[in-house]
Amino acid sequence: MTTAEQAYLRGAVALSHFFLRERVKPGDTVVDATCGNGRDTLLLARLVGPAGKVWAFDVQADALEATRALLTGDGLLDRVEIVPAGHERLAEIVREPLAAVVFNLGYLPGGDKRQVTRPENTVTALHQAAGLLSPRGMITVCIYTGHPGAPEEGEAVENWAAALAPKQFNVWRSCQMNRPETAPYLVFVEKGESNPLFDI
Ligand SMILES: C[S@@+](CC[C@H](N)C(=O)[O-])C[C@H]1O[C@@H](n2cnc3c(N)ncnc32)[C@H](O)[C@@H]1O
């Protein structure tokens, strides 16, 4: 891991990685719901180790190829299943309990900016992800605000997250207070232990 990758909490992606490093353990199964250029998949592949598994979803051939190339370059493709499908099909394809599901919304950096994640697919996938999470499992959602449709998608994610049962989930929204309101921000969800004392 390079110094730049582990250095500072410069934005929502860095903050999501901070939480993922704390929570994802060797041997875990996790999902990158929007693998894009593969940077989140790469972190997850390092964290789960050789006994773990990363499912990496995307709908764009360029993204799938970029992820494959990045993971191959690091010698970690053996623990990654690259899935050429929309994350709204998550529960159809993945049946195992998950330690983490990572969403990085919007468009592929360096790619076609019209090919964005859509609120209806994102919320469908989030609902399925919440059902698959293990106790202490975490969903991270990096939300952007600058492209057409982005504010509506952010609102849909927040509405979904805010409606989760507090006895079953801890739900957070985190933004940078000294940046413009348009800066990317993070919503994250932790599944609680199945413990009647959880809601004290
Ligand atoms: C911001 S990029 C992801 C960046 C990536 N996580 C990385 O580390 O480089 C968003 C990605 O979501 C993908 N996407 C759009 N709709 C999708 C869907 N329904 N299911 C899965 N991926 C989707 C886009 O193709 C794009 O590659």
Confidence of residue 53 (pLDDT cuts 50, 70, 90): very high
The answer on pLDDT for 14 being more than 50 is yes
For 166-188, the pLDDT digits (tens) are 999 999 999 999 999 899 999 99
Confidence of residue 195 (pLDDT cuts 50, 70, 90): low
User: Cβ(103) to ligand 1 under 6 A?
Assistant: no
Top mutation candidate among 13, 30, 34 for ligand 1, by most atoms within 8 Å of CB: 34
User: Cβ(63) to ligand 1 under 6 A?
Assistant: yes
Top mutation candidate among 5, 58, 60, 121 for ligand 1, by most atoms within 8 Å of CB: 58
Structure tokens at 139: 């969903």
Count CB neighbours of 151 within 10 A. Answer: 14
Lowest mean pLDDT among 21-30, 102-111, 191-200: 191-200
- Mean pLDDT over 2-9 rounds to 66
The answer on pLDDT for 33 being more than 70 is yes
Q: What local confidence, expressed as pLDDT, does residue 149 receive?
A: 94
Match 């999501």 to its residue by tokens. Answer: 16
The closest residue, in CA terms, to atom 27 on ligand 1 is: 36
User: Cβ(40) to ligand 1 under 6 A?
Assistant: yes
- Mean pLDDT over 188-196 rounds to 81
In sequence order, the 6+-apart residues with CB closer than 8 A to the CB of 160 are 123, 126, 127
Q: Please name the helix (run of DSSP H) or strand (run of DSSP E) that holds residue 104, with its range, or none.
A: strand 98-104
Helix (H, G, I), strand (E, B) or coil at 198: coil
Match 């964290």 to its residue by tokens. Answer: 47
- Residue of 144, 129, 133 whose CA lies nearest to 13: 144
User: Cβ(86) to ligand 1 under 6 A?
Assistant: yes
Lowest mean pLDDT among 28-37, 60-69, 191-200: 191-200
- Mean pLDDT over 58-84 rounds to 98
User: Cβ(119) to ligand 1 under 6 A?
Assistant: no
Q: What local confidence, expressed as pLDDT, does residue 193 receive?
A: 80
- Residue 45 and residue 80 in contact, taking contact as beta carbons nearer than 8 Å: yes
Q: Rounded distance, CA 115 to CA 112, Å?
A: 6
The answer on pLDDT for 4 being more than 90 is no
The answer on pLDDT for 34 being more than 50 is yes
User: Cβ(140) to ligand 1 under 6 A?
Assistant: no
The answer on pLDDT for 21 being more than 60 is yes
The answer on pLDDT for 80 being more than 60 is yes
pTM for the full model? 0.95
For 126-174, the pLDDT digits (tens) are 999 999 999 999 999 999 999 999 999 999 999 999 999 999 999 999 9
